[in-house]
């Protein structure tokens, strides 16, 4: 079975006011599991972009989101402060060469970026290139979290999401649990103390590991 493991990072928990900051997906064949030892270059078709929003969009960063995504928070604020428009021509006057160097370093560090209203266009192209006709999502709480954010993006209706999805946390329920275990809980219960990085691509890989 071909499934698509998906994870997003956001500025908070409420899709009505918070925004997606990162999106990752791996096309995964359950009958022929890939090697996923390298989180920077998985041995499977993968899609990974950081997501930027226009300067007039309120990001509404929550404190926890700022702590787990400090690099994004810093570059996003820096970009807005100097009116950077990623992926477009920019005309910015810098007060010093140090500011220009910092801007270029941040741009190269975050070169895999895409505007929010184009994210699903690129994702659709990725699906087409890998002959994915129906997206069966694999993810931790995908319907209750990720899907609610994705529905608010342009071209959502163009993505052939299945009405069924897989959540690997069901395999790690224990007597006495009052809610489904988190990804961190699942990893610990399989004997892995690796911390969850809240990097979307690495979290997708961890989700697949838990599923296996």
**pLDDT (tens digit per residue) in 80-112:** 554 444 444 444 455 566 665 665 555 555 557
Instruction: Identify the band that residue 198 occupies on the pLDDT scale cut at 50, 70 and 90.
Output: confident
pLDDT at 35: 81
Cα–Cα dist 190/17, whole Å? 35
Going by C-alpha positions, the residue among 147, 160, 159, 136 that lies closest to residue 211 is 136
* pLDDT on residue 94: 52
Q: What is the pLDDT of residue 95?
A: 59
Confidence (pLDDT) at 37: 76
Q: What is the mean pLDDT of the chain?
A: 85
**Per residue in 6-55, pLDDT tens?**
999 999 999 999 999 999 999 999 998 888 877 777 889 999 998 888 77
Looking at 111-211, list the stretches that DSSP marks H as alpha helix, in order from N- to C-terminal side: 119-129, 147-150, 183-189, 200-211
Residues 6+ apart with CB under 8 A from 65: 9, 10, 11, 12, 18, 21, 73
- Does position 162 have pLDDT exceeding 60, yes or no? yes
Confidence of residue 152 (pLDDT cuts 50, 70, 90): very high
pLDDT of the residue at 159: 97
pLDDT at 161: 98
Joined together, the tokens standing for residue 157 give 């209706």
Residue 98: what pLDDT?
66
In whole angstroms, what is the distance from residue 47 CA to residue 56 CA?
27
Mean pLDDT (whole number) for 47-67: 88
Once rounded to an integer, what is the mean pLDDT over residues 117-141? 96
Check whether 149 has a pLDDT greater than 80: yes
Q: What is the mean pLDDT of residues 122-130?
A: 96
Percent of the chain beyond pLDDT 90? Answer: 60
* pLDDT above 60 (res 141): yes
């Amino acid at each position: 079975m071909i499934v698509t493991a998906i994870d997003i990072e956001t500025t908070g928990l409420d899709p009505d006011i918070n925004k997606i900051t990162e999106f990752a997906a791996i096309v995964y064949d359950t009958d022929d599991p890939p090697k996923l030892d390298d989180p920077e270059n998985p041995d499977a078709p993968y899609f990974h972009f950081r997501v930027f929003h226009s300067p007039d969009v309120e990001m509404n960063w929550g404190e926890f989101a700022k702590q787990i995504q400090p690099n994004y928070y810093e570059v996003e604020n820096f970009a807005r402060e100097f009116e950077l428009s990623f992926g477009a021509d920019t005309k910015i006057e810098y007060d010093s060469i140090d500011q220009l160097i910092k801007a270029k370093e941040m741009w190269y560090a975050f070169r895999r970026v895409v505007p929010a209203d184009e994210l699903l266009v690129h994702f659709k192209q990725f699906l087409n290139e890998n002959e994915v006709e129906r997206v069966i999502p694999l993810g931790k709480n995908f319907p209750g979290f990720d899907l609610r954010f994705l529905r608010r993006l342009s071209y959502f209706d163009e993505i052939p999401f299945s009405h069924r999805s897989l959540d690997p946390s069901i395999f790690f329920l224990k007597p006495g649990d009052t809610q489904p275990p988190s990804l961190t809980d699942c990893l610990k219960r399989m004997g892995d103390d690796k911390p969850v990085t809240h990097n979307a691509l690495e979290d997708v890989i961890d989700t697949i590991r838990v599923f296996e």
